[in-house]
Amino acid sequence: MQDEKLKIGPHEFSSRFMIGTGKYDTFPLMKEALEASGSEIVTVAVRRVNLDNPKEESLLDYIPKNMTLLPNTAGCATVDEAVRVAHMARAAGMTKLLKLEVINDPETLLPDMVGTIEATKILVEEGFVVMPYMMQDPVSASRLVDAGAAAVMPLASPIGSGQGFIDFSFIKLIVKRFKGVVPIVVDAGLGAPSDAALAMEIGADAVLINTAVAKAKDPVLMARAMKAGVEAGRMAYLAGRIPRVEYATPSSPTQGVVK
């Protein structure tokens, strides 16, 4: 299929399925799922080394070499924490990409948009390629774009919930306003390939999925299923779906019917 590349900052990607590395039962299983996904962008988190178990295996040894790392600031509740973790992620010397999360509501894990917008401004000025996790809110999206975000990552539903889309109206509005301005990456809450396909059908540029793959009974098979869902949705978007109408229209000719 002929398709344009997904452009984020200085990077270009063919795959529109970004995948997370959290929650897999084992690293080898994760590696197999990452390979099956066909993804080119893979998220990672920053955490303290366990001083009592310093020899634990490195996640990086199980990430295919052709994949681009997208470090996140998961766990950061304030602007200062997010900026600090961003600096740590950059110091690894692998990427300036950053999935920005500022979250201080443990029950919902919904993003703090005031903090997210402020942190985006700071980190963009410091040269990061910032991809902020955000509410389905066109007003916040506008603030983030003004702040220099390289992409916006509106949620479908709360992180890890697998609920798919709770509502379409605002995400459609974000797509309408920002399509072609910055890539729109639907992040969080996608539970099944149909959710991923729907995201792509309404014009999202990409999706990011972690839990729905990692916690599937067969994560490798689910990674393949999600890949197919993303591709199907993308093709449908490019092909152009028919408009919805209220009543039936016949598929077969109404002339020459045998009586």
Partner 1 sequence: MTQIGGITITVNGETRAVPAGLSVNGLLDHFGIKRATAIVEHNREVLDRKLFDDTLVQHGDTLEIVRFVGGG
Which residue from 44, 155, 196, 226 is in contact with partner 1, where contact means CB under 8 A? 44
Q: Which of 29, 35, 45, 122 is the binder for partner 1 (CB under 8 A)?
A: 45
Phi, psi of 195 (to 5 degrees): -65, -45
Show contacts of 251-254: CB within 8 Å, 24+ apart.
none
* Cα separation, 72 vs 214, whole angstroms: 17
Question: What SS3 string covers 231-251?
Answer: HHHHHHHHHCCCCCCCCCCCC
Active-site entry in 99, 121, 179, 217: 99
> Pick from 155, 152, 133, 233: which is nearest to 193 by CA?
233
Between 74 and 149, whose beta carbon lies closer to partner 1? 74
Alpha-helical runs (H) found in 74-192: 79-91, 113-125, 138-146, 169-178
Q: Which of 13, 40, 67, 90 binds partner 1 (CB under 8 A)?
A: 90
Q: Give the x-and-dash track for 165-204 against partner 1 (CB under 8 A).
A: -----------------------x----------------
99 is catalytic: yes
- Residue from 7, 9, 11, 22 that binds partner 1 (CB under 8 A)? 22
Catalytic residues: 99
Q: Residue numbers of the site for partner 1 (CB under 8 A)? A: 20-24, 30, 43-49, 51, 54-55, 58-60, 69, 71-72, 74, 84, 87-93, 159-160, 188, 208, 210-211
